[in-house]
Amino acid sequence: MRKETSTNALNEKMISDSCGMAYTLGVLGGRWKPAILCRLMHGTMRYGELKKSIEGISERMLVAQLRELEGDGIVRRMVFPEVPPRVEYEMTELGLSMQSVISAMSDWGNMHRSLSADRIAAEVAV
């Protein structure tokens, strides 16, 4: 991804180290991570099921986001020694501890999404 010694990466680390919300958003943030986490909150999923359930995500992006989540200890990857190989993903205990945060963010978004759309429509009409 990004070079760890870049000014941007160092600034991001400094903010993340001093602000819990920034750290949380760093772990959860991105276009696809929320969609992945919402699906895994309901239980273990095979890679193919996860890919089919998230419309528009490329294989490359799904793999990258899953690796980041796995690296942060949020998701566990399980490979079964079968032919063909079976790979499943599930939330770790740490990941499951974020359920209330993810649910609260989802509730807030659902509540305010239509308000934002209404506000934009009103501004365009003026």
Residue % of the chain over a pLDDT of 70: 93
CA distance 65 to 107: 23
pLDDT category, 114, cuts 50, 70, 90? confident
Dmax over CA atoms of the chain, in Å, equals: 62
For residue 120 the two structure tokens come to 């934009």
Q: Are residues 22 and 36 in the same domain?
A: no
Q: Are residues 103 and 44 in the same domain?
A: yes
| Domain with 5 in it | 1-30
Q: Are residues 60 and 77 in the same domain?
A: yes
Q: What is the pLDDT of residue 14?
A: 85
Q: What is the pLDDT of residue 13?
A: 80
Counting the structural domains of the chain, the total is 2
Q: Are residues 16 and 36 in the same domain?
A: no
Interior/surface letters 40-55, b for 16+ CB within 10 angstroms, e for the rest: beeeebebeebeeebe
Provide the edge-to-edge strand list for the sheet that holds 75-80.
45-46, 86-91, 75-80
Among residues 27, 39, 49, 34, the alpha carbon closest in space to that of 94 is found at: 27
